[in-house]
Amino acid sequence: MTSVGATVKEPGSSVKNKTGSWRTFKPVLDKEKCIDCGNCILFCPEGCINKDYDIDYDYCKGCGICAEECPVEAIKMERE
Amino acid sequence: MDIPEKEFLAPGHRACAGCGATIGVRLALKMLGENTVAVSATGCLEVITTPYPETSWKIPWIHVAFENAGAVASGVERALKAQGKDDVTVVAFAGDGGTADIGLQSLSGAMERGHNLIYICYDNEAYMNTGVQRSGATPYGASTTTSPHGKESFGENKPKKNIPMIMAAHGVPYVATASISYPEDFMKKVQKAKEIEGPAYIHLHQPCTTGWGYDPSKTIELGRLAVETGSWLLYEIEEGEFKITYRPLERKPVNVYLEAQKRFKHLADEEKEKIQNYVDQVCAELKI
């Protein structure tokens, strides 16, 4: 395939850049408290919380939206 | 509402922590699915998702200039049609600068020609990528680097340009406004836009932590305050029929939205009152 302009041929290759190092505060989820509402999954700018509510700390930038939007305060922001 | 699990925007992108644009794009792509080609105008989204030689996109994506997302999306749609690929969705993403100012003519052309495409404007109300310069979509009273507040100025002195209504005036089959803070409302609109034959325009309001001046954790809360105060309205216009899709139970005073952001902190009571009166007037007309 001839490249036209700047072509990137590997979809989703930004995963090589682990943005977790940007973080100062880390969200920690108490799964006992979690009511499975899905807010944190939906509102994460990185899309790094999976359906089992595991947070991928390789990419989490620590913005705190998940903790802010959790209706039962199951997520606490802890200093790294 | 069934929300597809699959993600089409990979992490590792360079968006600010708490970015509203990436939330909007993630949600939109979930509904559009993998059989989609995306076009991005120059702007935050393009810069943060494609630092060469990487990309966050898991679907075919093309970056064009600031002014021609509408034209390139038109070309992509026609090329796919010529190849008989009628089942592929074409979506263009552009910011408010790339939509309200620089890309307006090519967007207007695309709407006029009636291409089967979706255009989503992610509106953070200024040129955030280059350092918060005002755009046509910057609201009245906001301080930006090119409409700074000071002794001689209270910030932006013109009202926000009403792009969704300009799009509606083209007579296209579907126009909607949305907010990242109301994801189900937004995603339903994306689904409709996908199903409708012909051009669809969605104007997505999306708070920006860097440009608006608030804590990154408050992105969703700010979007909600915009809607709950009547500063941003959620509606759709389907085949010419206007419908409000969300009404706040009790409209909050605009002040709570303004005071939560640094860009409005300087405003005197007189200006705040003007903004409240303007919002009241619009909401009264629409019975919100």
Nearest CA in chain A to B219: A65
Q: Provide the whole-model pTM.
A: 0.97
Q: What is the pLDDT of residue B237?
A: 98
User: What does the alpha-carbon distance between residue B19 and residue B17 come to, in Å, rounded to a whole number?
Assistant: 6
Q: Is the pLDDT of residue A79 over 60?
A: yes
Do residue A44 and residue B23 have CB atoms under 8 angstroms apart? yes
Report yes or no: B40 at the A interface, CB cutoff 8 Å: no
Q: Are B29 and B8 in contact (CB under 8 A)?
A: yes
Q: What is the pLDDT of residue A2?
A: 62
Residue B123: pLDDT band with limits 50, 70, 90: very high
Q: Where are the beta strands (DSSP E) in chain B?
A: 36-40, 61-63, 89-95, 118-123, 174-179, 200-205, 234-238, 241-246
**Is it true that the peptide bond before B53 is cis, omega within 30 degrees of 0?**
yes
Report yes or no: A37 at the B interface, CB cutoff 8 Å: no
| ipTM of the complex in this document | 0.95
As a dihedral over the C-alpha atoms of residue B40, residue B102, residue B20, residue B51, rounded to 10 degrees, the angle is 50
Using DSSP, state whether A79 is helix, strand or coil. strand
SS3 of B103-120: CHHHHHHHHHHCCCCEEE
First to last CA, chain B: 25
Q: What is the pLDDT of residues A16-71, one digit of tens each?
A: 999 999 999 999 999 999 999 999 999 999 999 999 999 999 999 999 999 999 99
Mean pLDDT value of segment B172-200: 98
Mutation choice for A interface testing from B124, B220, B222 by most A CBs within 10 A: B220
What tokens were used for B170?
Answer: 């083209």
Strand order in B36-40's β-sheet? B61-63, B36-40, B89-95, B118-123, B200-205, B174-179, B234-238, B241-246
Question: Amino acid letter at B66?
Answer: F
- CB pairs below 8 Å between A and B: how many? 110
Q: Are B170 and B182 in contact (CB under 8 A)?
A: no
Report yes or no: B284 at the A interface, CB cutoff 8 Å: no
Do residue B18 and residue A64 have CB atoms under 8 angstroms apart? yes
Report yes or no: A43 at the B interface, CB cutoff 8 Å: yes
Report yes or no: A4 at the B interface, CB cutoff 8 Å: no
Q: Is the pLDDT of residue A1 over 80?
A: no
